[in-house]
Amino acid sequence: MIPTFPVPEPTLVWSRFFELLQVPRPSKAEGAAIDFLNRWADGLGFEARRDAAGNLVVHVPETVADGKGPTVILQCHVDIVSVTAEGDAHGADAARGMIPTVRGDFNPANEKRLDPNASGDWINAPFTTLGADNGIGVAMMMALAESNHRPVPLQLLFTIDEEAGMTGAFGLDPQALGLTGKLLINIDTEDDDEITIGAAGGRDIEISWEGTLERVGNQTCYSVGLKGLKGGHSGVEINQGRANAIRLLSRALRRLSDAVDLRLLKLSGGSRRNAIPDVCTAVIVFDSAESAVAQLTIEACCDQWNQLYAGRENPIIIEMTRISDSQPESCLSVASTQTFLQMLNGIPVGICEMTPEIPTLVESSCNLAIVEFATPESAKIICSVRGTTGFAADDICDTLRSIVGLAHGTVEIADGYPGWKPRLESPLLKIAIEQYELLFDSNPKVHAIHAGLECGLLIEKLPGLDTISIGPNIKGNHAVGERVQISSVQKSFLYVVAILEQLGR
């Protein structure tokens, strides 16, 4: 949808971005966007190559007659997380490339709606995701290719499906794409004062466990629910000290099993592998005569955790309610209940190690993400393991195998994606820091993130690749109301131009 406000500077970047907003490109359905970019390249006379995975590389020659600069790969993913507000009546649909935009000023009281202003510094999509992640990077690459002054040869790498599995980076075929560059600038960082030089790899772990059922005698069912936690992203917010709802409720129930003959009927928590669970519920069975002792145990746990997490969490609430006088025919035995709860309590949660070279960077972590009973006697548990190196992730996986094995469960480990180990001595990083200081008279934040970027996979496909990631300020990505800062796009575009100019000398 064509914007009704003046196109900001740099106008070519924003014009290409607004064109891209009209092209459907949800993860795993980016064909129209790749075709759009292929036609754009053909129209300019640039060579474009695709591989079997669906990735596209556009080869852009330098314009300097005696250019001796190295070939530089600029890289972005073309897919977006496609979300449209439920019940939207504005004709918006991110999945179909129908993304209305608003330009205005940020209103802290209403993050998803800008105060409209034709000269405001932000652009957002109030009814859908905006797709600035990573569309604004794609637009910057297009504008750089169209420049009349290109100091170095460029290879524009457009990957697919970054948001839903990185299958484009996994299936990348450098030979089919003609990739020869040894320097790569990824434009997928979302803060304009940061240079990202590392990221965590990830693996999904699925645990299967079966216990023993026993018939229930004169017992009563109770529901127990824990709520009030902040949750958050299990990568970038793992260092915030957030509590895990599954872990806390399993600990409360384990303590309860020391006080009463506890039987577990159900346990359910978490919804996404990369989210810290913020709620967890259970249905338990025990003698109603012990309800007072049980209530005191639950209240003591709640009081202790509210003291422990004070200032880091919202007030933690654990409620236990008698369901009815009816009872199930069977549920997990007392012994199986204890085994299952001990296993849950033994699974690592949160930070496992910090990185020696960068003391503020999490080296490895484990998120106890999802637990659900498929049948009264069998449970599935999903964990998300992250590590900057494969060794760090392997260590956690071995720990999980040991703990689950003691409880007679089984562990399946997905292949996952590799981490990106920081290289503090990188020549490209040195140039990027120098140019940032010259342009903006300040020091950039050089850091690594405990979340996934495609760079680790790209380095694996192109050994010896020297890589950094930069980009403009984007807030609220992956959600309705995503916004990007206009002045930050100007800053980031100028920054990339300066880096390329220096590389061409």
pLDDT tens profile 154-213: 999 999 999 888 999 999 999 999 999 999 999 999 999 999 999 999 999 999 999 999
* Residue range(s) occupied by CATH 3.30.70.360 in the chain: 202-413
* Distance, C-alpha 110 to centroid of its chain: 24
Q: Please give the structure tokens belonging to residue 61.
A: 């020659």
Contact 452, 200 (CB under 8 A): yes
| CATH homologous superfamily for the domain 11-200+420-503 | Zn peptidases (3.40.630.10)
Element (H, E) at 403: helix 390-406
pLDDT tens profile 235-273: 888 888 889 999 999 999 999 999 999 999 999 999 888
Averaged pLDDT for residues 353-376? 91
Q: Dmax of the chain from CA atoms?
A: 90
pTM for the whole structure: 0.81
Distance CA 186, CA 488 (A): 16
Going through 376-497 in order, the beta strands assigned E by DSSP cover 378-387, 410-413, 445-449, 466-469, 474-475, 483-485
> Which pLDDT does position 113 carry in this prediction?
80
In this structure, what are the phi and psi dihedrals at residue 136, rounded to the nearest 5 degrees?
A: -70, -30
Residues 6+ apart with CB under 8 A from 71: 152, 153, 154, 155, 180, 181, 182, 183
Contact 197, 468 (CB under 8 A): yes
Q: Which of 344, 175, 127 is closest to 255 using CA atoms?
A: 344
Q: Please give the structure tokens belonging to residue 99.
A: 């993304």
In this structure, what are the phi and psi dihedrals at residue 452, rounded to the nearest 5 degrees?
A: -90, 135
> Which pLDDT does position 102 carry in this prediction?
93
Where residue 39 falls among pLDDT bands split at 50, 70, 90? very high
Distance CA 204, CA 57 (A): 30
Residue 90 pLDDT > 80, yes or no? Answer: no
Q: Which of 428, 375, 388, 384 is closest to 264 using CA atoms?
A: 375
Helices (H), 74-196: 132-146, 167-170, 174-177
Averaged pLDDT for residues 106-114? 78
Taking residue 478's Cβ as centre, other Cβ atoms within 10 Å add up to 13
In percent, the amount of the chain with pLDDT more than 90 equals 77
CATH code for 202-413?
3.30.70.360
**C-alpha count within 13 angstroms, C-beta hemisphere, residue 298:** 22
> Which pLDDT does position 313 carry in this prediction?
85
Residue 88 pLDDT > 70, yes or no? Answer: no
pLDDT tens profile 301-329: 999 999 999 888 888 999 999 987 667 78
Distance CA 36, CA 109 (A): 38
* Residue range(s) occupied by CATH 3.40.630.10 in the chain: 11-200+420-503
